[in-house]
Structure 1
Amino acid sequence: MNSFFKKTRQVLSNRAGFFWLVLFLFWLKTYLAYQNNFTLGVNNTMQQFLLLLNPLPVGLLLIGIGLYFGGKKSYWIEIIVSLIQSTWLFANTLYYREFSDFLSFGIIKSSSSVSNNLGSSILEIIHPTDFLLFLDVVILILMMSFKVIQPDQSRPKRRYGAITSVIAIVLFGINLSLAEGDRSQLLTRTFDNNYIVKYLGVDFFAGYSAYQTHQQTSTRKNANSSDVDKVLDFVNKNRSQPNVSYYGKEKGKNVFIFHLESFQQFLINYKSDGEEVTPNINRFYADQHTMSFDNFFNQVGQGKTSDAETMLETSLYGLPSGSSMTSYGSSNTYQALPAFLDQRGYATASMHGDVGSFWNRDNTYKSWGYQYFFDSAYFDDKDDYNNGYGMKDKIFLKQSAKYLEQLPQPFYAKIITVTNHYPYDLDKQNQSIAKTKTGDKTVDGYVQTAHYLDQAFGEFINYLKKSGLYDDSMIVAYGDHYGISNNHPKALAKLLGKKSVSKYDLAMLEKVPFMIHSNNLQGGVNHTYGGEIDVMPTLMDLLGIKDDDTIQLGNDLLSTNRNQTVAFRNGDFVSPDLSKLGSKVYDNQGKKIDTKKLTAQQKQILKEQQDHTDKSLSMSDKITTGDLLRFYTPQDFNKVDKSQYKYKYSDGIKALKKARREKKSSLIDQNGGKSTQDLYETDAPELKDDDNK
């Protein structure tokens, strides 16, 4: 036995032996923290393998620094690296437990939410087992202090350090390649910090967030208040006047924003094998009190849904690459629609059956002024309730009733559905319409998930009618972005009954529905050209909120003197006159025009439209990357104090109960304290199975 301990002691005292011990312990505690302290959503064998792999590249690189030095210094450097990593893991464990997200340098540097929100409850958050993250460091320090380990005093062979560094870089390249294979555009789109940690590691995330913060800080530092003057000059020149027939018509009403995931305009009245795909949405679209827009375009970039939300609620475009919600949502100053309504007595809430950290919603919504965010933590969940991107719509919408009925009125509530999401898979028990037969597997399931979404929408509208909310609300429904991308032209042509689709046809397929319903409104189809950037000013005018000094890049869709140039994120545009797509120009019938044969008038129109598109996108980027709204506040608007919002389940329920006591205007209070949940009817088979059990 003595011989065994002696040999073990010799091995650990050897510089290489000690290095491998520290690396192993570094890897082990990181992996155990992944499994026990975070909810990373590992869904397949590759993700599990990457979870095992990702601590090693950074561990090799950082702990390997010690191999460049000799004597005790080498050993203590490796211990210190492990201590720093343990501290980072510990801090993230506490932050994640409270906010379901990871600490970024942007949050640490530019937000007081960490100290304000976390510091007050730190003793409640800490678990005794959290300190086990430091156990290996304590043991190593004791072994060094009591000379159980005798440092190797020989001259270091720095080539070993160099080899270790090279192996670390190669291993990271393999890690990144495998991660990109399982989740493409992982770093450019940055859906969720959980994804970065799951695929590349919590230590990589630290460096990645530091890089992002540096880039943002340098741009932000160079911005100044004079930049706002240029923005205001552009905005004021392009601001349209409200339509007096509609201004303030919906003042004081509840507002629903119903988010139709991946829902394209061509689905309206579309039939598959003679069967209506979306009969409920079709009826809503054609209702005598619904204003529908048939030339309304999605304008998203890489941020997809997050870009749609950004435009909808801030009248700013998404970024040329990535998502502004994930890159800037935590730190920037915004003047968003929820904040305007909050400051006018509205309760503001967003509901989504996925994790709150997706698209950084749990931080961005605070910047936008949302009082409540009901994410997946607020809903009863079972394995068959989910479809990969959150709760199935029928189940999610039924459960949302218990929060809608508690919101003080008037309220602003955004409902985000997910089932009609790529790759359009739906379990057999929920399929109630046949797939199309284009031969493209990605495309053919689209009608099934769209039909399911339509059924869920119909059930939701029926509940609003039965509960009385339908008559007291303005209901806005919109499609966030395309469902079938331009990469499927043959399948799209088959769906539309065409031989082929042109570039212009594909641009017209970027149309998504936009509908505004209220019993006060005269319905009909409005043919004006517009897009998601125009939603906020449209709703503000309908609600009678003065916006003649706000910074918004869209304009009221109901205005009679509006610019109808619709800018796409890539610099292309469409309009009722001319459209420019790439290097090609088209008339409003989709006919390609030879640019050499353009009339002088057409050339002038084209130039003005291109200038408007370029300046709109450029101004938006400057506002976002320079955080320019910190320099300017409109009249009758107060800067948002993010520290007052907490979305953790216990905090959200507590705030909701307090608001109900103070205002006594919620649906359930108006109903004498009786719940309206039993009025919500759904045919979701999963819930029927639960009832049978």
Structure 2
Amino acid sequence: MDRLTKKLSDSKWALATLLGLILYGKSLFLLFTLYEVSVRVVLLSLLSIAPIALVVSFIFLFAGRGRWKYFFLVNVFFSVLFYADMVYFKGLNQLFSVYVLYIKNISFDFGSSASGYFMSYDFVVLLDLPVFLLMLRKSRIYEKEQTLKPQWGGALLRRTRFAVALTLSGLLMATQVMAVSGVEDMENFENHALLLSPVGNHLVNMASFVAEKVMNLTEDDRAEIRDWFEANAQNLTADETHAEDFGVLKGKNIVVLHFESLENFVLQETADGQEITPNLNRILKESYFFSGVREQVREGTSSDTELMFNTGLYPTQKGSAFMSYAENTYFALPKLLKSQGYATMTLHGDDAKFWNRDVMYPTLGIERYIDESLFEDKRYSGLGILDESLFQQSLLEIGRTKEPFYSYIMTVTSHTPFNLEEEYRYLGLPGDTADAGYLESIHYTDYHFGKFYEELKKKGLLENTAFVIFGDHEGIHKYHETELPENDKKIPFIVHVPGMKGEEIDRIGGQIDMLPTLLYLLGEEESTYGDKVMGTNLFHPGTGSVILASGEIIGDPEDPVHLQQAGILANKILAGDYFKPLVEDASSSLDD
């Protein structure tokens, strides 16, 4: 090892070449792990050469042991990053993002669900690090020898090598990025590791992170956003058959049930002859059931659902708006209702700082946030406090609140990893599989929702109360291999008013469409929200369409380009705080 360390130390090119080979080898291993071992993956891995060369070029700025330090630090950085990629991809089908590092308040409880994605062979990318750490330490021996050698022109040569390597690799990488940006497969972020390469994806990711943090919208940007909203306004009208539904929720108490991991297939489905969701099934008879709604969450998962439901904006393409833009100015449902005399509150059996909710909620107009620290019954299971306790606490808080009220209740017991304790497995399904655990968890939450509903009925609160119930994203199909029925990314969206005539509406839509639909039912004029909400009224004529987080479009939109632009413009709206000059003045009266 001493002889090899000396040779690598003496050569001007050896360490640079070795670093490039190591990064390429680990990139290829990562691609094989995420996708498959195939000729196609090997050929696409060649796209790694330019971004790797860009990273390696900086080694020429250093002399002597400085090259070893750069070599080792870069190897450690990308080895750890690639390991995180493999873990992260198994849960979200995309590479780890620098935006996640911004989630400074993320709950440690998430580890219980993430731990299931660690695979024993992932650590292979870390195996060489101890060897190179030892070589780095041994390189001290040769540092004095190198300083005794003539160094005339050494700094100039290093800078020249660096400039040439950086320019060539930078131009090649820029060309590659521009070439693949127009490829249809780029619309699906699951392909970014292949088309941008693992190293290239992270370089682009870091560059966009920096750019968005300093984004100032130009007048052209603002005009583009205004034009998009103007074109979207036609999607806010309702079919004439639902004209009489305008304003049916006006003045009513609104109880929102954000049902963790609730998928469409479980409704009206049985397991071992037992209904999985008997209480949800029961209220469907007096509800609008929008059965064609798909999940559209990105890296923010549940917080992305909260964003879409409360603000009508698409999630950020990287990271979470709750983390990055919690102090922005928003048009938001709680803020609107608050201006109309509603008391607004949220209940969630988790840490107040999880997903930065303690900062974001006041921004959205939430007056009271009842987190786990305020619960009277603190029995835990899985990610947070049991949903039985959540519904009991909700009854207490509703009893203390003046009417009308807006109560946003977030469940947690049905969150992966679906390892509910035996005493709460009311279905009694055999086995300890994820499938059985998922069904038991969903049934448990549905059971205690039923008890919550009956208690409200006893207290006479159902007479002027509407329920809005939806799943935030897939659960079993998103995070586990499963033998349960296909779900096609569908999540239930239910609007229930006791005594109303029920109807199933199978129009294709997404979570982004929930708010404009609800605003219509609340009797809000389009002029209030038409230039602020990005979705479609699900009562709109036609069969509908939706763009998924992957970029895939389901349905037959009249203008697919309009849908494809939505996520990009939402990113500009969030990063540039678009609504600040527009909403702040207009909503000053809402906050008074």
Among 620, 624, 628, the alignment partner of 2:578 is: 628
Structure 1 residue 159: deviation in Å?
7.5
**In the alignment, structure 1 residue 573 sits paired with structure 2 residue 577:** no
Conservation of the 8 A alpha-carbon contact between 1:268 and 1:281:
yes
Conservation of the 8 A alpha-carbon contact between 1:432 and 1:448:
yes
Measure, in 2, the Cα distance between the counterparts of 1:213 and 1:488: 30
Match of 2:474 in 1: 482
Match of 1:543 in 2: 522
Structure 1 residue 322: deviation in Å?
2.1
For residue 456 of structure 1, give the secondary structure of its aligned residue in structure 2: helix
Match of 1:331 in 2: 327
Shift of the 196–445 alpha-carbon distance from structure 1 to 2, 3 Å rule, reads: closer
CA deviations over 1:162-188 (Å, ceiling 9, x no partner): 877877766666776777788774745
Conservation of the 8 A alpha-carbon contact between 2:466 and 2:497:
yes
Match of 2:170 in 1: none
For residue 317 of structure 2, give the secondary structure of its aligned residue in structure 1: coil
Match of 2:406 in 1: 412
The AA in structure 2 aligned to 1:514 is F
For residue 105 of structure 2, give the secondary structure of its aligned residue in structure 1: helix
CA deviations over 1:146-175 (Å, ceiling 9, x no partner): xxxxxxxxxxxx988887787776666677
Report 1:96-135 matches (<5 A): none
**In the alignment, structure 1 residue 343 sits paired with structure 2 residue 339:** yes
The AA in structure 1 aligned to 2:405 is F
Measure, in 2, the Cα distance between the counterparts of 1:338 and 1:517: 19
Normalising to structure 1: TM-score of the pair?
A: 0.55
For residue 288 of structure 2, give the secondary structure of its aligned residue in structure 1: strand
For residue 466 of structure 2, give the secondary structure of its aligned residue in structure 1: strand
Shift of the 186–231 alpha-carbon distance from structure 1 to 2, 3 Å rule, reads: closer
Percentage of matched positions with identical amino acids? 29
Structure 1 residue 418: deviation in Å?
0.5
CA deviations over 1:229-281 (Å, ceiling 9, x no partner): 32332233433248430111221110011111101110011111212111112
Measure, in 2, the Cα distance between the counterparts of 1:197 and 1:170: 27
Measure, in 1, the Cα distance between the counterparts of 2:208 and 2:318: 13
The AA in structure 2 aligned to 1:254 is N
For residue 579 of structure 2, give the secondary structure of its aligned residue in structure 1: helix
Match of 2:444 in 1: 452
Match of 2:287 in 1: 290
For residue 257 of structure 2, give the secondary structure of its aligned residue in structure 1: strand
Measure, in 1, the Cα distance between the counterparts of 2:64 and 2:310: 56
The AA in structure 2 aligned to 1:306 is S
Match of 2:435 in 1: 443
Measure, in 1, the Cα distance between the counterparts of 2:247 and 2:586: 17
**In the alignment, structure 1 residue 263 sits paired with structure 2 residue 262:** yes
Measure, in 1, the Cα distance between the counterparts of 2:399 and 2:291: 32
Conservation of the 8 A alpha-carbon contact between 2:347 and 2:369:
yes
Conservation of the 8 A alpha-carbon contact between 1:193 and 1:357:
no
Structure 1 residue 394: deviation in Å?
0.4
Conservation of the 8 A alpha-carbon contact between 2:345 and 2:366:
yes
Residue ranges of structure 2 left out of the alignment (5+ in a row)? 1-62, 90-95, 111-205
Structure 1 residue 222: deviation in Å?
4.5
Measure, in 2, the Cα distance between the counterparts of 1:611 and 1:181: 33
Shift of the 630–462 alpha-carbon distance from structure 1 to 2, 3 Å rule, reads: same
Measure, in 1, the Cα distance between the counterparts of 2:561 and 2:222: 24
Measure, in 2, the Cα distance between the counterparts of 1:160 and 1:411: 66
Match of 1:427 in 2: 421
Match of 2:271 in 1: 272
The AA in structure 2 aligned to 1:553 is M
**In the alignment, structure 1 residue 312 sits paired with structure 2 residue 285:** no
Structure 1 residue 381: deviation in Å?
5.6
Shift of the 220–443 alpha-carbon distance from structure 1 to 2, 3 Å rule, reads: farther
Measure, in 1, the Cα distance between the counterparts of 2:66 and 2:544: 62
Structure 1 residue 349: deviation in Å?
0.9
Structure 1 residue 481: deviation in Å?
0.8
Match of 1:554 in 2: 535
**In the alignment, structure 1 residue 615 sits paired with structure 2 residue 526:** no
For residue 474 of structure 1, give the secondary structure of its aligned residue in structure 2: strand
Match of 1:303 in 2: 300
Task: Report the aligned-residue RMSD.
Answer: 3.5
Normalising to structure 2: TM-score of the pair?
A: 0.64
**In the alignment, structure 1 residue 194 sits paired with structure 2 residue 105:** yes
Measure, in 2, the Cα distance between the counterparts of 1:290 and 1:320: 33
Conservation of the 8 A alpha-carbon contact between 2:272 and 2:429:
no
Measure, in 2, the Cα distance between the counterparts of 1:283 and 1:196: 35
Shift of the 421–488 alpha-carbon distance from structure 1 to 2, 3 Å rule, reads: closer
Measure, in 2, the Cα distance between the counterparts of 1:219 and 1:349: 32
Shift of the 616–194 alpha-carbon distance from structure 1 to 2, 3 Å rule, reads: closer
Conservation of the 8 A alpha-carbon contact between 1:335 and 1:639:
no
Structure 1 residue 562: deviation in Å?
5.8
The AA in structure 1 aligned to 2:545 is T
The AA in structure 1 aligned to 2:544 is Q
Measure, in 2, the Cα distance between the counterparts of 1:449 and 1:459: 16
CA deviations over 1:571-619 (Å, ceiling 9, x no partner): 21222xx5xxxxxxxxxxxxxxxxxxxxxxxxxx6xx353232133333
For residue 622 of structure 1, give the secondary structure of its aligned residue in structure 2: helix
CA deviations over 1:438-460 (Å, ceiling 9, x no partner): x9x33331111111111111111
For residue 311 of structure 1, give the secondary structure of its aligned residue in structure 2: helix
**In the alignment, structure 1 residue 509 sits paired with structure 2 residue 488:** yes
Q: Which structure exhibits the higher relative contact order, with contacts defined as CA atoms closer than 8 Å and separated by 6 or more residues?
A: 2
Among 389, 397, 400, the alignment partner of 2:391 is: 397
The AA in structure 2 aligned to 1:193 is K
Measure, in 2, the Cα distance between the counterparts of 1:539 and 1:302: 25
For residue 583 of structure 2, give the secondary structure of its aligned residue in structure 1: coil
Conservation of the 8 A alpha-carbon contact between 1:352 and 1:376:
yes
**In the alignment, structure 1 residue 367 sits paired with structure 2 residue 367:** no
The AA in structure 1 aligned to 2:309 is L
Measure, in 2, the Cα distance between the counterparts of 1:476 and 1:168: 51
Measure, in 2, the Cα distance between the counterparts of 1:344 and 1:255: 13
Match of 2:93 in 1: none
Measure, in 1, the Cα distance between the counterparts of 2:237 and 2:519: 13
**In the alignment, structure 1 residue 230 sits paired with structure 2 residue 227:** yes
The AA in structure 2 aligned to 1:623 is I
Measure, in 1, the Cα distance between the counterparts of 2:217 and 2:551: 27
Measure, in 1, the Cα distance between the counterparts of 2:417 and 2:109: 22
Structure 1 residue 624: deviation in Å?
2.0
Shift of the 542–434 alpha-carbon distance from structure 1 to 2, 3 Å rule, reads: same
Shift of the 294–436 alpha-carbon distance from structure 1 to 2, 3 Å rule, reads: farther
Match of 1:521 in 2: 500
Conservation of the 8 A alpha-carbon contact between 1:190 and 1:323:
no
Measure, in 2, the Cα distance between the counterparts of 1:454 and 1:291: 18
Structure 1 residue 403: deviation in Å?
1.5
Measure, in 1, the Cα distance between the counterparts of 2:101 and 2:107: 8
For residue 234 of structure 1, give the secondary structure of its aligned residue in structure 2: helix
Conservation of the 8 A alpha-carbon contact between 1:530 and 1:564:
yes
Structure 1 residue 311: deviation in Å?
1.1
Structure 1 residue 477: deviation in Å?
1.0
The AA in structure 1 aligned to 2:446 is D
Shift of the 614–387 alpha-carbon distance from structure 1 to 2, 3 Å rule, reads: same
Measure, in 2, the Cα distance between the counterparts of 1:336 and 1:351: 18
Conservation of the 8 A alpha-carbon contact between 2:254 and 2:406:
yes
Measure, in 2, the Cα distance between the counterparts of 1:461 and 1:400: 11
Shift of the 360–190 alpha-carbon distance from structure 1 to 2, 3 Å rule, reads: farther
The AA in structure 2 aligned to 1:610 is P
